[in-house]
Structure 1
Amino acid sequence: MYVKIRTDGAVGLGRATEGTEEITIGYGEAHMIAAALEKLAQTARDYKQVYKKTTDVGGGNKIEFERYEDGRISISGDKHTYYCTEQEIRELAKLLKNLPPVQVAPASDYVDKTTPEDSVCLVVKNGGASAGLKITEAALLKTAVVSSLSSRYFDEHLVVAGRDLVVNRSSDLKWKLEVGGNPVKFTAYEVEALVAGLHNGILDVLMDFVKSMGSDDIADIRVKSHIQRIEEEVQKTMGEHKDMKKVRKNLSNMAKLILGGGQDADTRTNTFIEMCKFVYGDIEREFVDPLMDLLSAAFVVEG
């Protein structure tokens, strides 16, 4: 059977079809389906499991796995059924466990993921120059660059947790990013790919963290515990401030969208960017740095 990541970010499973007869699951469900397939392959006879989808992709809301008395295996979903050998089931599970990161925008030559160190997990680069970025910085830089696209001149200086960031558009054709005094220059022909690269870089880092939460029976407990720690840090940072409860609730709700089931990678990424914009733009300045430090570490798998 084949496995594909569709242009809408969903995952298709099929055999000898161009797509109209495939079973469709959400990208974030792939690990859970893989676990169900592995269990199916390990069961000798007379076994059935029903998986209820956590996303609304495809033409149905469940997938059925069945092993019959005679050893045959079937996978059914979205009004389609495929019969498979045990070896095919194992291969399908392996493919689903090793899906590449979803790209929701054109690939970029200008942003790379790097092994996290002190929350720096991305590198923006061009023309031999480069600068390391935290995921929060990438979110704010993407926002600034997108804002600059509709301008003839743009200059924004951000200070995020003690690090200086600059986005400058000096003409119709020239952009410059500075991170901690390290300039990286771009032309109008490169800047859209830069935006895509920043988005995809954030996406890759977030999906690494989502995968680190696992897909076993206690994955939900890990997610809830992590969100609770974020809430506790917000309360610790803001204390008895009048806005503490509002900020804690907003960040908690967004963290649930980022880490919980049922969301595609693009939605998680956009939610994280909105989270960073909320903290940097809407919260009293005395709390911005510690909360940005919190977000820069809370969604990154440290190396």
Structure 2
Amino acid sequence: MYIKIRQDGSLGIGRGTEGDAEITMGFGEAHMVAAALEKLAQTARNHKQTYLKTTNVGGGNKIDFVRADDGTITISGDKQTYFCTEPEIRELAKKLRHLPQIEVAPPSDYVQKITPSNGLCLVVSNGGQSFKLRLPEAAVLKTSIRSSIDSRYFDETIAIGQRQIMASRTSDLKWQLRVGESIVKFTAFEIEAFIAGLHNGILDVLMDLVKSFGSDDISDIRVKSVLQRIEQDTLKIFKEDKSGKAIAKELTKRTKSIVGIGEFADERANRFIDMCKYVNANLDTIWIEPIFELFSSAFVPPA
């Protein structure tokens, strides 16, 4: 079994895999996982322990440690399962307890998760100025800023009902965002970190929702309730419009790939952003506000 410290500072363990195809945990969780591995190695047979992650890395929220009646050892998590020998388990636990100290890049200073209020769950700030965003607004804003990166000049007004988010690149080195009377500015040095902050903020909120499903026998029911809500509320929005059924089906399918048990964490954020892009780019503007209102409620767990 290998162990690695990933670029984002999280830990990956696996065998014969690469990229995200591994069991992932937060750097600070190493000692707790090591303790579970040591207990696994010390138990001769018929043992199962589930560790619930305290971070939002990887595609799931738990790691299972199992020793069968015949002594076979498996560790499972993030869609991966590895059969291990007892010496491998002991060696892995030892490595987790003696990780090298490294400097991990801090999270973005520009986007922070806040207690949800009227759908507003993220705050953008820089230079003493700030404004709040709903989750789908953050998604379409990230898309807008991404589009501006390869431009010399960029100006977009993101209109969601009566609310407007104005994103502009006024020169090679300067960006400006306006929501109401609030103006937040970024330099070329800061803009990539801001984009990463938007992505991480979206991911943090989505993982709060995923964690709220739990890992008990009815977690699947909680997921299905979100899917049902997206489908039914979308149909209510479109009422008699003939395109409603197809759009409800599309949004429900996309939602399943976002909130489904076992999906990779980073992919959840990417898929949510893609779904918001789909709504913003492909639907009549009269539908954007009510659908984004639905997203702001359905994908954001209550405070």
TM-score of the superposed pair, with normalisation by structure 2:
0.74
Question: How far apart are the structure 1 equivalents of 2:49 and 2:174?
Answer: 55
Query: 1:73 Cα deviation (Å)?
Result: 10
Q: Verify the 8 A CA contact 1:153 1:169 in the aligned structure 2.
A: yes
Listed one character per residue, the Cα deviations across residues 164-196 of structure 1 (whole Å, up to 9, x for unaligned) are 100011111110011233110011111111111
Q: Verify the 8 A CA contact 1:106 1:196 in the aligned structure 2.
A: no
Question: How far apart are the structure 2 equivalents of 1:67 and 1:238?
Answer: 52
Pick closer, same or farther for the CA change 1:248–1:232 going to 2, 3 Å.
Answer: same
The match for 1:25 is 23
Mapping of 1:209-224 within 5 angstroms?
209-224=209-224
The match for 1:98 is none
Structure 1 gaps of 5+ residues are: 52-56, 93-102
Question: How far apart are the structure 2 equivalents of 1:289 and 1:3?
Answer: 45
The match for 2:67 is 66
Correspondence 1:81 to 2:85: yes
Correspondence 1:47 to 2:42: no
Question: How far apart are the structure 2 equivalents of 1:288 and 1:144?
Answer: 16
Mapping of 1:218-233 within 5 angstroms?
218-233=218-233
Query: 1:48 Cα deviation (Å)?
Result: 5.1
The number of residue pairs the alignment matches comes to 263
The match for 2:236 is 236
Question: How far apart are the structure 1 equivalents of 2:72 and 2:107?
Answer: 38
TM-score of the superposed pair, with normalisation by structure 1:
0.74
Query: 1:262 Cα deviation (Å)?
Result: 3.1
Amino acid at match of 2:127: G
Question: How far apart are the structure 2 equivalents of 1:191 and 1:10?
Answer: 24
Q: Verify the 8 A CA contact 2:230 2:298 in the aligned structure 1.
A: yes
Query: 1:6 Cα deviation (Å)?
Result: 3.7
Structure 2 gaps of 5+ residues are: 51-57, 76-80, 97-103
Q: Verify the 8 A CA contact 1:64 1:75 in the aligned structure 2.
A: yes
Listed one character per residue, the Cα deviations across residues 54-111 of structure 1 (whole Å, up to 9, x for unaligned) are xxx9xxxx97612769xx99555524234789xx9xxx9xxxxxxxxxx9x9732111
Listed one character per residue, the Cα deviations across residues 174-223 of structure 1 (whole Å, up to 9, x for unaligned) are 10011233110011111111111111111111111111111111111110
Question: How far apart are the structure 1 equivalents of 2:125 and 2:219?
Answer: 36
The match for 1:264 is 264
Pick closer, same or farther for the CA change 1:4–1:180 going to 2, 3 Å.
Answer: farther
Question: How far apart are the structure 1 equivalents of 2:175 and 2:12?
Answer: 39
Query: 1:257 Cα deviation (Å)?
Result: 0.5
Query: 1:9 Cα deviation (Å)?
Result: 9.3
The match for 1:302 is 302
Q: How many percent identity over aligned positions?
A: 46
Question: How far apart are the structure 1 equivalents of 2:6 and 2:69?
Answer: 31
CA RMSD of aligned residues (A): 3.9
Q: Verify the 8 A CA contact 2:72 2:83 in the aligned structure 1.
A: no
